[in-house]
Amino acid sequence: MSRKQAARARPAARKGRRPRHSPTAPAPGPAPGDSGGLAGQLRALGLKLREVPGDGNCLFRALGDQLEGHSRNHLRHRQETVEFMVRQRGDFEPFVEDDVPFDKHVANLAKPGTFAGNDAIVAFARNNQINVVIHQPNAPLWQIRGTDRSDARELHIAYRYGEHYDSVRRISDDSETPAYLRMEMLCKNDSNKAEEVKQQKGNSEDETKVQMEDAVQKVCNATGCSDMDLVSHVLEVENYNVESAIFAILQVKEGQGIGTEKQQEPLGREQKSCSRTLWEENGTGSKTFGKQSLHQGEAENSKGRAGSREENQASRNPKVAKKQRKKQQWLEKKKQQEERHRQKVLASKRDSADTRTETDPANHVTLVKAMAALNI
């Protein structure tokens, strides 16, 4: 074979070189644009490819799409990455291959359309203090760590055909917003973890049962009620609030006593002692509700008596009755205004909370399940 024939048979060289330490090139797969094995692999994780042009700028386009939501700033990302490599020359120069001088290597890498490899990914990750996760067909995830911070951003990109990078997105994400994906490592001894969770759940159930029994006993002691089923039911209705349950049972007992003739009779010795024990200054009732509740009850009774006196006086004097009606109308109007203001404040708080939820990146993080990852 002549030299000309050999030259024609040799494949054309790509613009720029791919470093030897790039992610392992996958086996020959479907042509670009075809939904091949990697697309199905990502789909199983709830992810998809967002393809970027294969113009030699694909790495920086994919990283930019992850970081900013679009790939239009790929030239700036390339320039900043090259400048970081020059500043940290000692970290990158030993990995330049084919005996190419470092200055020439970074000069070529700075040109638009030059293929970039793992050294550029490492520099980009360290410069931006983020971690880059690389998805490949039928291979573990590669994680290039640019920082050891636990709250660092993760950028997920796909490497396929041995020369092309794409962005990885949540399967329903068609927006031009930054991607927030994060790996979730699945533990191999999930059965042991499930057993621990089950044991903790059993312990919590026992604690809950003890707390419920304690609440029932407190209500029984405070009210003198011996019907455990009634107390348990009232506690459940009152969401296990002991004070509310005590008040409710006392109301029930009072309502039951109003319709009976025995209530009209003087209290027996046992009933007097129970009532005195419950509501005297240091009794169970005062301990539960506090002295303030007792004073408040007396104040409400006196207020009711004063109100009845005013009503009787108003019925005798028409002018007083008219004045009372105006005062009542004013009070109702003021109460309505206060309620409208309260509703407006609550609505504004809900709106601000919704806004914080929408703008908080942590609420949009999608967990990517993985059994293993190789760190660089």
Q: What are phi and psi of 64, to 5 degrees?
A: -65, -40
Token duo for residue 69: 């939501």
- Nearest Cα residue to 242 out of 273, 271, 221: 221
**Catalytic residue positions, numbered:** 55, 58, 164
Handedness of CA 164, 165, 170, 175 (dihedral sign): negative
DSSP string, 269-303: HHHHHHHHHHHSTTSHHHHHH-HHHHHHHHHHHHH
Could you tell me which of 141, 146, 175, 173 has the C-alpha nearest to residue 158? 141
User: Residue 115 to residues 111, 112, 164, 236, 265: CA-CA distances in angstroms?
Assistant: 9, 9, 9, 68, 100
At 63, list the tokens. 């990283």
Amino acid at 236: E
* Phi, psi angle pair for 80, to nearest 5°: -65, -35
The HSE-up count of residue 299 (CA atoms within 13 Å, CB side) is 6
Burial of 124 (0-12, 13-18, 19+ CB in 10 A): buried
**Rounded distance between C-alpha atoms, residue 54 and residue 76, angstroms:** 18
